[in-house]
Amino acid sequence: MNTTSSIRVKRQGLMPCWKGDLFIPEIGDWIRPKPGFRIFTTINPRTVGYVGRNTQDAANDDRFRFMYFDYMPEDQEISLIKSVLLSAGMKDEATAISTATCYREVAAAVRKAYMGVSDDAAALDVTLSTRSLVRWAKYAMACAGVSNSGFGPVHYALERSKTLKASPETRMAIHEMVHQVFGEEYRTPLTQSLTA
């Protein structure tokens, strides 16, 4: 909803539906909502971390009920990542739980910095959604034999799944979080420059 302007929403989208009819020029037909017709839409929260979105005006906001959905509970997200790791070939369940916990801990730190919950409020320009977290874990398992310029599979997969889309500062900060959570053996050329 907040990826389009409120003027466009009013003139070309929802406003005609609220008034009764909506003409679809591509098919040359009218949509006439039945009684009880509802529209469901999503919008990013109005927090510091969400940039590049359009603010809807008060008239549009007044037509909706707002609900907040947070990330999965920690135990459920760890369980999900554990199952991804096991299905991707990790053999030991205890290792999968430990590794999944590390992935989740990195994601929690990134989310806090992105959403403005930590001391580094709005410091990052990307976050790690559950979808990103699953993709990262899958890529890391697929890249288990990869060593690219000192990057092990965890960092290499993180770059391919998320951090190459981020600013250089955010990229470095997230990889440092990985190093801090996963341990010394997860140092990369990126994080070595931070502690040298």
Tell me the C-alpha distance between 163 and 160, whole Å.
Answer: 7
Q: What is the pLDDT of residue 49?
A: 47
Q: What is the pLDDT of residue 118?
A: 56
Which of 3-12, 74-83, 89-98 comes out lowest in average pLDDT? 3-12
Structure-model confidence comparison of residues 178 and 51, the more confident one: 178
Q: Nearest Cα to 106, choosing from 88, 132, 86?
A: 132
Q: At what angle do helices 74-87 and 93-115 cross, to 10 degrees?
A: 130
pLDDT digits (tens, 9 = 90+) for 9-28: 555 556 666 666 777 778 88
Tell me the C-alpha distance between 21 and 15, whole Å.
Answer: 9
Question: The tokens of 33 are what?
Answer: 């909502």
Contact between 118 and 177 under an 8 Å Cβ cutoff? The reply is: no
Average pLDDT over residues 68-76: 89
Mean pLDDT, the chain, rounded, equals: 78
Helix (H) or strand (E) holding 29: strand 29-31
Tell me the C-alpha distance between 22 and 18, whole Å.
Answer: 9
Answer yes or no: is pLDDT of 4 > 70.
no
Tell me the C-alpha distance between 189 and 137, whole Å.
Answer: 21
Q: What is the pLDDT of residue 46?
A: 58
Q: What is the pTM of this model?
A: 0.70
- Residue 150: pLDDT band by 50, 70, 90 thresholds? low
Question: The tokens of 9 are what?
Answer: 């929403």
Contact between 59 and 82 under an 8 Å Cβ cutoff? The reply is: no
Q: What percent of the chain has pLDDT over 90?
A: 34
Question: The tokens of 75 are what?
Answer: 């135990």
Helix (H) or strand (E) holding 21: none
Answer yes or no: is pLDDT of 194 > 60.
no
